[in-house]
Structure 1
Amino acid sequence: MVANNNVGMELAPEQRDEILNILRERFEKNMHRHEGIEWNQVRAKLDVNREKLWSLHEMERTGGEPDVVDFDQDSGVYIFYDCSKESPKGRRSICYDREALESRKKHKPENSAIDMATDMGIEMLKEEQYRALQQLESVDNKTSSWVQTPSDIRERGGALFCDRRFGHVFVYHNGADSYYGVRGFRGSLRV
């Protein structure tokens, strides 16, 4: 990989080919996520936004299984979400943000959700986005995912996470410094 001014990394040609093949195969197997969208149009956008491919590669590398879930007609942007069945395995056991990480005196996790998302060049899902993903298919039946937390909750030390249990999507709160082996985060990327 080579340094890039945008996200920080650019994929080598063989890595680009590999992630494009993975994305195309996933796109074709999951047409219910993006009805009316054609792969060739998505591919054309990716070809001119190579820094976004690096972010998609990171989403894939950490277990997110990114896929196109929407197209913003006004901006001409394709929207990818992590569509893995459970919260991405390579992004679990993390607290919510840097402040929460630094506040822990013992048993600090290795990272925080906000820092990881920033490093990957993606955004954590908002509650509405999480619910939209759950409309496409059932995810997080055994795990949970941090979601962007309103500032008034965060200022009081809390953070929000979501999961699906008993056929329903639940939003919960926890201390932002908490972390669990089954809680990670899902991201989005606009291309």
Structure 2
Amino acid sequence: MSEDKHLTHLNADGYARMVSVTDKGDTHRVAIAGGFIRMQPETLDAIGRGEMKKGDVIGVAQVAGIMGAKRTSDVIPMCHPLMLTGVDLDFAMQSDGIEIIATVKTIGKTGVEMEALMAVSTAALTLYDMCKAIDKEMVIERIELLAKRGGKSGDYTKEGYRGKVVGESEGD
């Protein structure tokens, strides 16, 4: 690890600390994260037909993902509480599962990567919870940062990511 990429969540005594962002300026920040929940074709069919006993699986997962993003600092110890200005999740049915993409935005001193990852994670766990009665073999996988914009470290797009480019969505 290079000198300029050292871990900053430790104080001089080696104890955990929340990094100070006091002197940083506010910038527009966006992060996109993705994940996938693999499931049986029968489970996908039941979701698509609206036949899940627990209700609108995708609708509930959408709201859960938004709530997860908003509560990130309550779960991840060193995350700063942020005033999010936008959270959106997209769900794409595939032949073997559901792809989840979360876009999170703020204007602030620190990025929203963790909030985007938390949105995807919470949505995936909600899908799992709502479908577990009929599919015990579901697997949540590939939760990852796909792109980010803003901040000192600059913009990032994961190699091979071909989805929406950060900043191209409406409202940016």
Do they superpose with TM above 0.5? no
Instruction: Say which structure is richer in strand.
Output: 2
Which one has the bigger helix percentage? 1
Higher RCO, Cα 8 Å, sep 6+:
2
Q: Tell me which structure has the larger Cα radius of gyration.
A: 2
The TM-score normalised by the length of structure 1 is 0.26
